[in-house]
Structure 1
Amino acid sequence: MTSPSPLRIGVMGAPSTGKTLLMRRIETELRDQGIPVARTGKLGRRAALVPLPKMQHHTVVSTTWVIATGIADEMAVTARLEHGPVQVVLADRACWDALAYFRAAQEWHRQSAPEADREAPHRLASAHGRTYDLLLATVLDPTLPVERKHGHDARYRTLVDRHTHDLLREENIRYVRVTSAPASQELAIEHARQLCATEAPG
């Protein structure tokens, strides 16, 4: 008899907009409630180790790698049973995220990859990206300082933010906008808490 599929919560958004911090807070909240949870992430860092281009240098190949690796990570954590079945998977960078970064990179360079090349990562993201039980998308606040060590291009961050929300609207994906305001952050955590309290597999 197969176990019920775990709930899947994903986050996406422009660089340095609090995605990882938000997922850590959700993870802590769920663990405090006794809900077995696993969190994926560090895709950008791992892509750089391959090495693959990232940020405004994102390509079709790097986009496809990030999407495929993220999907594989989400599947893999559900198979780690040393502490019992995982009830919730937190995807730090939902699979749609890399597609938004790629579209932003194309606009940043004022170029466009051939349609046939763009279709492959889109099909991959579309096949998996419609199965999130909750999708959170951060909203860029350009007034907030960014640590100098990150060295993010300001124009590229703005493009990623726009393409993130444009993409989700184009694909008719239901999601929760998460701003930098504390109330918005708390509301996102509450969405996750309520979802898991009522629907997490036992």
Structure 2
Amino acid sequence: MTTNPPIRIGVLGAHSTGKTMLLKRIEMELRGNGMAPVRTGSIGKRAALNGLPKMQKHTAASTEWIIAQGIADEIAAAARGADVILADRAPYDALAYFNAALEFRGEQIDDLERDRLLLLASSQLPKYDLLLATVLDETMPVQAKHDYDPRYRVLVDQHTHALLISEEIPHLRVTSDPDSQAYAVVQALEMCLTEAAV
């Protein structure tokens, strides 16, 4: 187990915008530089296995479970001795999906419930050293095995970036442009190497 808290990099954004691939690239670069990153993920699949609604059907309960599961995964990764935790879906990601689902369905939730979920997500922000927010490129196809509603996908993208801006959360926007992707990888690698040298 490491004696220092691991470096944490989180990614968030609409589905099929390259989040997992981006983290895989960062993971590969870190391993090539002698670091021991751990990548978390598959929370959506696990939510479905537990009978929780997702995507357009997200509820406050499923959102809370996803945020809590992400927190638990990161704690477990730190316990396993990760130098760097690569969080595939940082807590605000779940909020964006939920807010998009509410708008998609034309629903509202109680202010206290919304504030409670926001507090849960925001309580994790100080742990992150870098947040990467992917930007939707509607010309890029989604994976064929998924049945995504295109309007919902756009809403997720809009709510992701609106949350980051409204909450004044420092982050790096990552587009589908190869130069933007490469820049994000370099920024993550340089930050991790700098932090590790301290």
What's the TM-score once normalised by structure 2's chain length?
0.96
> Which one of 166, 169, 180 corresponds to residue 165 of structure 2?
169
Q: Give 1:195's aligned residue.
A: 191
Provide the C-alpha distance between the structure 2 equivalents of 1:95 and 1:201, rounded to a whole number of angstroms: 28
Query: Matches of 1:200 and 1:96 in 2, distance apart?
Result: 26
**Cα distance in 1 between the residues matched to 2:22 and 2:149:** 22
Q: Distance in 1 between matches of 2:115 and 2:176?
A: 33
1:110 correspondence with 2:136: no
Specify the alignment match of 2:27 in structure 1. Answer: 27
- What residue in structure 1 maps to residue 133 of structure 2? 137
The size of the alignment, in residue pairs, is 197
Question: One-letter code of the match for 1:33?
Answer: N
For the residues of structure 2 that align with 1:104 and 1:175, how far apart are their CA atoms?
A: 20
- 1:1-202 matched pairs, under 5 angstroms: 3-80=3-80, 85-200=81-196
Amino acid at match of 1:149: K
Q: How much has 1:4 moved relative to structure 2?
A: 1.1
Give the gaps of 5 or more residues in structure 1.
Answer: none
**Letter paired with 1:186:** A
Instruction: Give the structure-1-normalised TM-score.
Output: 0.94
Contact 1:136 1:175 in 2 (8 A): yes
SS at match of 1:47: helix
CA distance in 1, matches of 2:75, 2:127: 12
AA aligned opposite 1:54: K
Contact 1:8 1:134 (8 Å CA) reproduced: yes
Counterpart AA for 2:91: C
SS at 1:119 equivalent: helix
Question: Structure 2 CA distance, aligned partners of 1:126 and 1:200?
Answer: 25
Alpha-carbon separation, structure 1, partners of 2:98 and 2:110: 13
Matched residue SS, 2:8: strand
1:100 counterpart SS class: helix
Distance in 1 (alpha carbons) for counterparts of 2:83 and 2:110 = 40
CA distance in structure 2 between the partners assigned to 1:16 and 1:167 by the alignment: 19
1:201 Cα deviation after fit = 6.5
Q: Once superposed, which parts of structure 1, at least 4 consecutive aligned residues long, lie more than 6 Å away?
A: none
Contact 1:6 1:200 in 2 (8 A): no
RMSD: 1.2
The answer as to whether partners of 1:5 and 1:201 remain within 8 angstroms in 2 is no
Cα distance in 1 between the residues matched to 2:197 and 2:122: 25
* Percent of paired sites with the same residue: 56
Q: In terms of mean alpha carbon deviation, does 5-14 or 192-201 score higher?
A: 192-201
